[in-house]
Structure 1
């Protein structure tokens, strides 16, 4: 009879350890799922910001190639959920400053 009581204590400890491991695994899986969704959203916004910035650059380049003076290459615009602004400088005709913003839903 004493041998059976010792076995019951061992099973209790084993079951507690297994429950703790299961809870930890579940916590990690939930955390990875949430983090993955946030990462996907940030990746999408990054792509949108790049598209908006490149659109602003193309607008300024088109103005430059059609004869607009370098100091007059200041444009602003909205594309999809974002906006861009460019500013040309007199001393560095090929330089264009870009800024892009993506509206968060």
Structure 2
């Protein structure tokens, strides 16, 4: 069965490349009809959009140079669910 599926996909791709067939976009994740959006990715989407916009402006020569952010991450306050000993062990593990 897997070989049949693979051969059909490859033949379809060849037909698309030759121009005999039009490509069709496939929604792998499915569409969500619920009114609940993804709040965790909504902020990421806007941040990514801002970064991409900035990069485009710089490429076109319109953007001004900005100093990189000097934010310091304090893991003890950021990850309160871990003890200081656990955080130190994790830092050792990832630094070596």
TM-score normalised by L of structure 2: 0.29
Higher RCO structure (Cα 8 Å, ≥6 apart): 1
Q: Look at both structures and tell me which one has the larger radius of gyration over its CA atoms.
A: 1
> Of Structure 1 and Structure 2, which has the larger fraction of its residues in strand?
1
| Structure with the bigger percentage of helix | 1
